[in-house]
């Protein structure tokens, strides 16, 4: 009863005319209102008290308390904005690109190098000849692709990037070699003190060969980078991945691996080294079972300059190794565990095409792939060369 009477008394005083109250009395009344979290009413009384007597005891301190309480109350009333809605209102930078390239390959369908495969049937060793469709095809192809990338800084240290790319390959006179490929990815980058940063991302790849169910790869990545020496950066992270084929569990598997990378910028050149190592766990009854995978890649980019301004030469050497943990097939090499070693060499020269317009570039690229295995069915070799045109805006 006493508390009710006190609240009623305080409310009545706040509601009555305050013209006849002294500054000291106004402050006393405001103290009571502040204690009841009635900050707006207290602020009104304190403003009057300070106008009448700026030096009134506790006037300034109580006024600051009232203003602070009003601000906190206002923030508490602000509605929570969902993350997706908030991202719609940020300022996005959009970069788009389209390209067209024509090329030729000595093995457009990545068929085995040899057309005679030894097999074991009923205890007997025989040699089986692959059909004509499964032999290497030297063909020409055309590729067309478009991509878009959206980037936005959502704070002083955070940046969100989303991108999508689709591509179509058409091959001249070759069955089951045309395909469509698409990729969508999103990443969140946070800048840290001392030039450090971390990145969290996810990506989805889909490869759709004609007359087949699409293959897919769903991947998540985490990277942490920090400076190394003066002109270099080191990066460490983890990759998780799920891959398979729609409506077919034969290729399903989960991959978990560690990754490390180093890059250095010296004058007009940049050197890079990437290493990854992990295990792929098979689902269902995938041939070969679980797999140990390792990849090492060395890259080099050079701003050539000289006769052509803003041209660039890029080279890459990549080595991939895979070791199955179970026998691949009873009819191939007596159910031997498959091992795969692949070497890829690539070079690309890019130059601006100012005669066509701004943001147009031309490029010429070549690639050699050589894969070796203890099972002849998985040995392959191919050479490709491409001439392309690219537009960015």
- What are the residues whose beta carbons fall under 8 Å from the beta carbon of 346, sequence distance 6 or more? 315, 316, 318, 365, 366, 367, 368
Is residue 198 predicted with pLDDT exceeding 90? yes
Closest of 25, 14, 21, 13 to residue 57, by C-alpha? 25
* pLDDT tens digits for range 21-72: 788 888 888 888 888 888 888 888 888 888 878 777 888 888 888 888 787 7
pTM of the model: 0.75
pLDDT in tens, 146-191: 999 999 988 889 999 999 999 999 999 876 789 999 999 999 999 9
Rounded Cα distance between 180 and 213, Å, is 12
CATH code, 85-392: 2.40.160.40
For residues 314-331, average pLDDT: 96
Please give the mean pLDDT across all residues of the chain. Answer: 88
pLDDT digits (tens, 9 = 90+) for 349-384: 999 998 888 899 999 999 999 999 999 999 999 999
Instruction: Classify burial at 156, counting beta carbons within 10 Å of its beta carbon; exposed 0-12, middle 13-18, buried 19 or more.
Output: exposed
For residue 328, give the nearest of 336, 340, 320 by alpha carbon: 336
Asked whether the predicted pLDDT for residue 83 surpasses 60, the reply is no
- Number of residues that this document lists for the chain: 393
What are the sequence ranges of the domains in the chain?
Answer: 2-77, 85-392
The model's pLDDT over 333-347, given as tens digits with 9 standing for 90+, comes to 889 999 999 999 999
Cα radius of gyration rounded to whole Å, the chain? 34
């Amino acid at each position: 009863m006493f508390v009710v009477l006190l609240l009623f008394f305080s409310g009545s005083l706040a509601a009555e005319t305050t013209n006849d109250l002294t500054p000291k009395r106004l402050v006393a009344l405001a103290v009571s209102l502040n204690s009841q979290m009635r900050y707006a009413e207290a602020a009104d009384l304190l403003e009057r008290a300070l106008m009448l007597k700026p030096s009134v005891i506790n006037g300034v301190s109580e006024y600051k308390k009232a203003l602070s309480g009003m601000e906190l109350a206002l923030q508490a009333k602000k509605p929570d904005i969902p993350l997706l809605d908030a991202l719609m209102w940020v300022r996005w930078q959009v970069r788009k690109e389209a390209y067209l390239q024509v090329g030729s390959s000595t093995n457009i369908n990545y068929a085995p190098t040899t057309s005679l495969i030894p097999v074991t049937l009923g205890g007997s060793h025989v040699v089986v000849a692959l059909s004509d469709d499964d032999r290497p095809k030297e063909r020409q192809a055309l590729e067309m692709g478009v991509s878009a990338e959206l980037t936005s800084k959502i704070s002083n240290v955070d940046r969100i990037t989303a991108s999508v790319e689709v591509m179509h390959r058409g091959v001249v006179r070759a069955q089951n070699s045309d395909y469509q490929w698409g990729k969508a990815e999103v990443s969140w980058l946070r800048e840290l003190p001392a030039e450090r940063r971390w990145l969290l991302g996810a990506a989805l790849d889909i490869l759709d060969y004609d007359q087949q169910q699409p293959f897919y790869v769903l991947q998540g990545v985490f990277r942490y980078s920090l400076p190394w020496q003066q002109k270099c950066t080191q990066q460490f992270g983890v990759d998780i991945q799920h891959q398979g084929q729609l409506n077919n569990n034969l290729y399903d598997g989960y991959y978990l691996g560690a990754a490390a990378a180093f890059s250095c910028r010296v004058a007009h050149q940049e050197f890079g080294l990437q290493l990854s190592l992990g295990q792929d766990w098979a689902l269902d009854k995938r041939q070969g079972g679980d797999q140990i995978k390792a990849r090492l890649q060395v890259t080099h980019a050079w701003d050539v300059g000289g006769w052509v301004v803003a041209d660039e030469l890029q080279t890459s050497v990549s080595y991939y190794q895979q070791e199955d943990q179970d026998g691949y097939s009873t009819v191939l090499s007596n159910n031997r565990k498959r091992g795969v070693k692949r070497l890829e060499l690539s070079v690309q020269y890019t130059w601006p095409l100012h005669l066509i317009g701004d943001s147009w570039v031309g490029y010429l690229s070549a690639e050699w792939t050589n894969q070796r295995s203890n099972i002849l069915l998985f040995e392959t070799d191919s050479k490709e060369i491409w001439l392309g045109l690219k537009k960015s805006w």
